Structure formats: structure tokens, C-alpha cells
Amino acid sequence: ILRSAGTLADGAFILLEGTVRALRGGVEHVLAPNDMIGMLETLAEGDHGMTTVAATPVRALRLPAIALVDVMEDHTDLALGMIHRLAGEVLDHVPAVELVN
């Protein structure tokens, strides 16, 4: 188990090698290299929303919360790239909403 649902997100992972099963509400997703684990929860200073379990041997980059914030403050281009990617992932998983005036 990499992270358990309901535990405080004190950092994030970027998956470099291997696969991870993400379990949320009985639904399983498979994460692959370049996927991020816990990034939104870490930035929100919240709890993990899913349990993540290594399905194969995994190599990942761990970003402690304090280091993540420091890097984002010092390298705004990196921070903007992360926000861009996170926004894209959120939009991929949120159903389209039709706005009515």
C-alpha cells in the first residue's frame, strides 16, 4: 500500500516505473508511469481520496509537501506546468456541465 484513503496527504508521488491500482469506492483504476498520486490532495492539504496499491514493482519520485511548495515558489514555469496537467486530468474525469443563463 502506497497510500490509504482517509490519511493525510503529506506528499505526492510521480510514478516512474511499474503499475499501481487505485481503489475508490469499489472502483479500480490502473495508474502507469507519468501518473501522479496524491498531488491534488497534497496541494489542498487534505486527505487521500483513494487507496493506492503497487500492482508490480514500482519506482516513483516522492515529493514531500514542503519540498513541492518550495519548488513551485522557486520555479513558476514548473508550477504552471503542474497546474496545467492537473487541470487536464480533472477535466478528463469530470462530466461535462452545460451552463444555462
pTM exceeds 0.85 for this model: no
Question: Residue 29 and residue 8: Cα distance in Å, rounded?
Answer: 21
Say if residues 42 and 65 touch (Cβ distance below 8 Å): yes
Lowest mean pLDDT among 5-14, 73-82, 91-100: 91-100
Summarize pLDDT for 9-48 with one digit per residue, the tens.
999 999 999 999 998 878 899 999 998 898 888 888 899 9
Count how many Cα atoms sit within 13 Å of the Cα of residue 49 in the half-sphere of its side chain: 12
